[in-house]
């Protein structure tokens, strides 16, 4: 994800990174060349003059804009729901860490070491969920946060976050049997783990249920048909300015189509997807800081970064 400081209006006109322009520059070039050809031939195909009233494009453009607005809202809802789920994960990880540090009664050195291991498991859960949503292995993070025995248990597993939650639940159950956690506290911590499961399930729901393909196909086809027919309707009224106006209108519609497709899958690794790596680093930094576990410096957003 691109995180960029707000800049002035002139620089915004020429920003490349974070823009979808590089995805659609070929399409825009083809439409512009096509518009120039239509202008050169005065709107004729061979000897046949194509007569299209600009009013038709006004009506179609209005309907297309309304439909694109609906699809954009649906895509942004998916993006924002994903962000809320990961924001809730930040809160729940800190809350569970606090409970483990303060409500597990045994303060012996052995239990302190065990607490640090469990807190590392909490961080491992966030990284594992990240990797599951992005279809990555994430071996480098899991190797430093899990024990060799735990690594062996999650090896070649698909739903690693659920297995890690099982590790945490087993430890809490063991502490309950030893009398280090009373039943009320155990119930509260179990509620926290249920929240972790709800967050994981919510993210999987977004990941496994994309926008209906029929919407994407209809929107994509309509946008391109509209853009390629538009020169015929404007060539007589605009003259040599027609290719420039068609380029501007095409950029608006095609870029919005590309943005809808991009943010509709918020857990990817494109420039406008959610910054899951940054969120995972924030979770790890904050809970390690609570527990006093040594760590590296947290990466801060500068002018921009891709996560």
296 domain-assigned: no
Give how far Cα 181 sits from Cα of 74, 102, 177, 197, 242, Å. Answer: 44, 10, 8, 22, 74
User: pLDDT at position 1, please?
Assistant: 60
Indicate the number of domains in the chain.
Answer: 1
27 inside domain:
yes
Mind listing the pLDDT tens digit of every residue in the chain (307 residues)? 655 566 676 777 777 777 888 889 999 999 999 999 998 988 788 778 778 888 888 888 899 999 999 999 999 999 999 999 999 999 999 999 999 998 888 778 888 888 899 999 999 999 999 999 998 877 788 888 898 899 999 888 889 999 999 999 999 998 888 888 888 888 889 999 999 999 999 999 999 998 888 888 999 999 999 999 999 988 888 888 999 999 999 999 999 999 999 999 999 888 888 999 999 999 999 999 998 888 766 655 444 444 5
Task: For residues 286 and 272, give the distance between their C-alpha atoms in angstroms, rounded to a whole number.
Answer: 25
Residue 3 is assigned to a structural domain of this protein: no
Q: Is residue 30 part of a domain?
A: yes
In a domain? residue 267: yes
Domain of 136? 9-291
Q: Is the dihedral of CA 247, 253, 259, 265 positive or negative?
A: negative
Q: Cα dihedral angle (186, 192, 194, 195), rounded to 10 degrees?
A: 170
Separation in Å, CA 140 to CA 130, 190, 243: 13, 29, 52
The answer to whether position 212 is within a domain reads yes
pLDDT for the residue numbered 28: 94
Q: Is residue 68 part of a domain?
A: yes
Is residue 133 included in any domain, yes or no?
yes
């Amino acid at each position: 994800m691109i995180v960029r400081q707000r800049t002035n209006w002139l620089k915004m006109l020429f920003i490349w990174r974070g823009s979808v322009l590089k995805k659609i520059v070929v399409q825009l070039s083809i439409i512009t060349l096509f518009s120039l050809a239509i202008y050169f031939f005065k709107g004729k195909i061979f000897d046949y003059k194509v007569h299209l009233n600009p009013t038709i494009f006004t009506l179609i453009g209005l309907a297309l804009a309304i439909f694109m607005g609906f699809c954009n809202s649906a895509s942004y809802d998916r993006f924002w729901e994903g962000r809320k789920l990961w924001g809730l994960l930040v809160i729940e990880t800190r809350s569970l860490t606090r409970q483990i540090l303060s409500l597990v009664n045994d303060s012996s050195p052995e239990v302190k070491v065990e607490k640090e291991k469990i807190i590392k498991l909490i961080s491992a859960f966030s990284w594992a969920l990240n990797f599951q949503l992005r279809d990555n292995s994430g071996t480098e993070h899991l190797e430093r946060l899990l024990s060799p025995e735990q690594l062996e248990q999650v090896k070649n597993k698909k739903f690693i976050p659920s297995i890690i939650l099982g590790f945490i639940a087993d430890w809490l159950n063991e502490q309950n049997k030893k009398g280090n956690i009373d039943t009320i506290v155990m119930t509260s911590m179990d509620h926290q783990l249920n929240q972790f499961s709800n967050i994981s399930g919510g993210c999987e729901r977004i990941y496994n249920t994309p926008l209906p393909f029929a919407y994407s196909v209809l929107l994509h086809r309509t946008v391109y048909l509209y853009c390629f027919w538009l020169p015929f309707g404007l060539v007589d009224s605009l003259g040599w300015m027609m290719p420039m106006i068609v380029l501007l209108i095409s950029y608006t519609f095609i870029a919005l189509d590309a943005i809808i497709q991009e943010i509709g899958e918020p857990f990817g690794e494109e420039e406008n997807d959610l910054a899951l790596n940054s969120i995972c680093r924030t979770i790890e930094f904050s809970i390690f800081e609570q527990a006093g576990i040594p760590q590296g410096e947290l990466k801060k957003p500068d002018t921009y970064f891709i996560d």
